[in-house]
Every structure is written in structure tokens, then in C-alpha cells.
Structure 1
Amino acid sequence: MEAQLTQIREQQKTTWNKFSAGWRKWDNFTTNWMRPVGEEMIGALQLKDTDIVLDVAAGTGEPGLTIATIVKNGKVIITDLAESMLDVARDKAIAAGVSNYETAVCDVCELPFDDETFDAVSCRFGFMFFPDMLMAAKEMVRVLKPGGRIATAVWASPDKNPWVTTIMSAINKNLAVPTPPPGAPGMFRCGSPGLLADLFKQAGVQAVAEKEVTGKMNCGSNDMYWSLMTEVAAPVVAAMSNADDAVKEKIREEVFALIDQLYPDKKAAIDFGAIVVSGKKEQSTT
């Protein structure tokens, strides 16, 4: 792997391990919030009871652990770069009584599995952070059995996701946040319609379908929204670490004002939009 890609991977591994405590704290909330996206992906996978499934960049275990409850006579391999995130997934599995799963710390661009191992592959909100997205897609297809299905989800364009753009707009107004180069890993890197679908086709995925999923992040209050975002949203946490208390309070006040302007009911039920892309690997002709 090229040195630059390796550097990005190691930075991301460090970041997600660092933020694992916040994700553990907010796991019930984030699981409920992102459930509609996971359900759309699971529907696209057309799972059978005996399927062996790979869930890539699964973080704290979703949708892999939910899939495990469907493939009762099969198994799910849950992978992530960050061991501390997978620790949360294992604790959740124990609490839920889910045993037909394994975890593996690995890089999507170097999956430690044989060709044609899995009946299905899932990846929720991981693709936009992969250093080389085409390489990642090709690796997923490599380990997928002929006729097997793949489903992934990414965030849609910024205008569809005020849950993150609201706070980031106030941060960018008050702090000098570096602008990443075009195409660099980031939240909205895959937000353009058709972008990920085209990557899948290049990687050998057929019958590619794309569907938008929309919903609400139901925080209940501005205070809860602020606490959540400043504890689990990596770009927010990184930017705010450079702010003194006065600037943080100024940003907080501006964020609350923006939310009240967008959502005057004071419930902070903030819109999100995602894109689910799915397809299947070509059947073997031999």
C-alpha cells in the first residue's frame, strides 16, 4: 500500500480508537437513529438463514449484529480498523445474546479472507473514509461468492444533512479549520448521486441500485444535540479541541440559534439523508 494511504489509515485508526468511549456512551441513541439506513441495506442483501456475511468498517457492530439475528444458522464477521470500537460491538453482542459472529481488526483494502468466502457483504458509513475506495470495492467483491449481494450506505450531500452542517458552519465561522483537498476522505465524499454506484460497477458489481434514505436525528433538545456532536462527531471534536472556553461558548450559542431557526419546535429533530447502494456479484459461468 502506498505510504500516503497507509498514513491515512493509521490516522483513522487512531481517531476512531480515541472516540470509541463517546460511541459507547451514545450507542443506544446512534443505533436507533441509523436504524432506517441499516434496514434498507439489510433488505437489499436478501439474506438467507444460513448466510455467511461480512460487515466491513462496522465500528460498534451495526448492521452486523442485527444481521446475525437474521442469519441464525449462519455467521457474521464484523471488521474494523479500530480495536476499541470492536470492543463495544463484542459487549453489545454479549448483552443481546448474539453468539454467531466473530470480530476481526483489519483494513478493507487488505481483507484477510479467501476469495469467494461470503454470501453477502455490508458496509454502513465507511466508504467515504476509505483511502482508496475502488480498491476497497474490489476487495469486497473478491471475497464475495458469485451471485452474492453487497450493500453499502454513505451520507448524501451536505444540504441533506443539517445534523452535521449546522454545527460545522458555526465552527468554520469561528475557527480556522483546514480545508481538505478535493477527493480526500470525509463525510460527504460520496454524496454525489451515482458516484458510489459507478465505483461498484468498476469493481464488477452488477444490477447496481441506488436509493436515498431520509429521516431525523431526534435529539429532543439543543443541549442533547450539542453533547452528542461534541462527543462522537470526529470533525467536530477535532476542531473544538483547538478552541478555548470563550470560543466554545460562542459556537454553542450560534449553533443553538441556527437550530432554533431551522426547527422552531425546540425538539432538535434534525434532518439527515443517506444513499444506499447495492448490487450483486456476477454468477460464475463455469
Structure 2
Amino acid sequence: MENQFEQIRDQQKQSWNKFSPGWKKWDDFNMRFLKPMGDAIIDNLKINDGDQVLDIAAGTGEPGLTIAALTPNGSVTGTDLADGMLEIANANAKAKGIKNYKTQIADVSELPFGTETFDGVSCRMGFMFFPDMQLAANEIYRVLKPGGRFATAVWAGPEQNNWVTTIMSVIQKHVVLPAPPPGAPGMFRCAKPGFIAGLLEKAGFTNITRNEITGQVDYDSFDRYWQIMMEVGAPIVAAMAQTDEPTKNIIKEEVSALFHSRNTDGGSVLNYAALIICGQK
């Protein structure tokens, strides 16, 4: 792996480990939010009992834990760079009584599994953060058995995801954020139509499909929205760390105004949109 990709990987590992307590605290909320994307991945994988499934960028365990329940005579392996996240996944598996789920620290660009090991591979909201996405697609293709399926979920464009742009658009008005290098990991890196399909096709996948999921996420209140973003949003916290207290207060006031302008009925909902891409070996 090239040095620049190793640096990105190491930074991501540190960041996810740092924020794993926040993800643990808000796990129930985040898993409800992300469940439609996980369900769509599962639908596309067409799980059969006895399947061996790999869940990449497993985070706190989903959709791998749900998949494990669908293949009681098979198994699910969840991989992630951050051991702090996988500790939560293992605890969730134990709490749910799931016996056929295990975790392993692994880099998607160097998967520690033999060729043609898995019947299916899932990846929910991780692909856009891989340093070398083509290498990742190649590795996923390698570890799949012939006929095996890969399904991933990534965020659609920022204009469809005001659950995050509500706060980021305000921060960008007050904080000078360096422009990321072209192709750098980021939330909306895979939003362009056909982008991931092109990577999968180059890796060898066929029968590639793309679908979009839209919906709303209910934060109950602005204060809860603000708290969640401050505890799980690594880029948000990093940007806010560059500001003084008066600027932070101004940002919070402006975010609050924007949040409430999008909820004139008194609610606390924001929009999201995700893309589901599936391919077959």
C-alpha cells in the first residue's frame, strides 16, 4: 500500500477509536437511522442459511448481526480498522445471544482471508472512506466465491442529506477548512451516478444494480441533534476545535435557526438519501 494511503488508514483508525464511546452511547439511535440501508443490503445479498458472510467496516455490528440471524448454520465475520468499534459489536452480539458472529481487525485493501471464502460481502457506509477504493473492490471480489454477491450503501449527494449539511454548512461559514485533495475520503465521495458501479465492473463484477433510498431521521429536538453531532461526527468536532467559545456559540445559534427553519411544524426531522449498489462475481 502506498504511503499516503497508509497515513489515511492510520488517521481513520485513530479517529474511529476516539469516537467509539460516542457511537456506543448513541448506538440505538444510529442503528435505527441506518436500518433501512442495512435492510436494503440484506435484500440484495439474498442470504441463504449456511452462507459465510463478510461485513466490512462493521462498526458496532450492523448489518452483520442481522445477517448472522439469517444464516444460523453459517457465520458472519465483521471487520473494521478500529478495535474500539469491534468491541461494541462483540458486546452487541453477546447481548443478542448471537453465536455465529465474530470480529477481526482488518484493512479492506489487504483482507486476511483466502480467495473464494465468502458467499456474500456487505459494507454499510464504509466504501467512501476507503483510501484506495479500486483496491478495495478488487479485494472484495477476490474473497467472494463464484456467484457470490457484494452489496454496499453510501450517501447520495449533500443536497439530499440535510441531516449533516444543516450543521456543516454553518461551520463552513465560520471555519476555514482546507480543501481535501482530489479523491480524498469523504461522505459524498461515492455519490456520483455510476461511480461505484465503475469500480465494481473494473474489479470483475457483473449484474450490477443501483437503487436509491430516501427518508427522514427524527432527532426529537435540536438539543439532541446538536449533542449527537458533537459526539459522533469526527469532521464536525475537528472543525469546531478550531474555533473560540464566542464563535462556537454563534455557530450553534445559526445551526439552531436553520434546523428550526426546516421544521416549521415544530418537528425535529431532517432528510437523508443513500445509494445501494450490488454486484455479483
Give the aligned residue type for 2:30: T
Letter in 2 for 1:128: M
Name the counterpart of 1:218: 218
Which residue of structure 2 aligns with residue 186 of structure 1?
Answer: 186
Partner of 1:139: 139
3-state secondary structure, aligned to 2:59: coil
Residue 89 (structure 2) aligns with: 89
Q: Which residue of 2 aligns with 1:171?
A: 171
Q: Deviations over 1:181-231 (max 9, x none)?
A: 221100100011111111111111110000001111110111111111111
Deviation at 1:64, TM superposition (A): 0.5
**Whole-angstrom distance in 1 between the partners of 2:266 and 2:232:** 22
1:191–1:275 Cα contact (<8 Å) kept: yes
Question: Counterparts of 1:56-75 in structure 2 under 5 Å?
Answer: 56-75=56-75
Structure 2 residue 56 is the aligned partner of structure 1 residue 51: no
Secondary structure of 1:19's counterpart equals helix
Determine if contact 1:215/1:273 at 8 Å carries over to the other structure. Answer: yes
Is 1:128 equivalent to 2:132 in the alignment? no
Matched residue SS, 2:122: strand
The one-letter code sitting in structure 2 at the alignment partner of 1:161 is N
Q: Counterparts of 1:183 and 1:189 in 2: how far apart (Å)?
A: 7
Residues in 2 aligned to 1:154 and 1:236: alpha-carbon distance in whole angstroms = 19
Partner residue in 2 for 1:119: 119
Amino acid in structure 2 at the alignment position of 1:124: R
**SS of the residue aligned with 1:145?**
strand
1:272 equivalenced with 2:275 (yes/no): no
Tell me the secondary structure at the aligned position of residue 185 of structure 1.
coil
Q: Which runs of 4+ in 1 moved over 3 A?
A: none
Which is worse superposed, 260-269 or 231-240?
260-269
Instruction: Give the percent of matched residue pairs that are identical in Structure 1 and Structure 2.
Output: 54
With the length of structure 1 as denominator, give the TM-score of the two structures: 0.97
- Partner Cα separation in structure 1 for residue 266 and residue 185 of structure 2: 33
Corresponding residue number in structure 2 for 1:154: 154
Counterparts of 1:69 and 1:132 in 2: how far apart (Å)? 32
Q: CA deviation at 1:265?
A: 2.2
SS in 1 for 2:226: helix
The 2-side partners of 1:24 and 1:60 are apart by 8
CA apart distance, 1:65? 0.7
In the comparison of the two structures, how many residue pairs are matched?
281
Q: Hey, what does 2:25 align to over in structure 1?
A: 25
CA distance in 2, matches of 1:238, 1:121: 32
1:122-176 superposed Cα distances (whole Å, 9 cap, x missing partner): 0011111000000000100100000001100110011010011110011011111
Offset at residue 179 of structure 1 (A): 1.6
TM-score, length-scaled by structure 2: 0.98
Residue-by-residue CA offset, 1:3-36 (whole Å, 9 max, x unaligned): 1010010000000000000000000000001100
Distance 1:86 1:101 in 2: 11
Measure the CA separation in 1 of the matches of 2:266 and 2:94: 37
Q: What residue number does 2:34 align with?
A: 34
* Partner SS, residue 189 of structure 2: coil
Give the secondary-structure state (helix, strand or coil) at the position aligned to 1:211. Answer: strand
What RMSD in Å do the two structures reach over aligned CA positions? 0.8
CA distance in 2, matches of 1:229, 1:130: 22
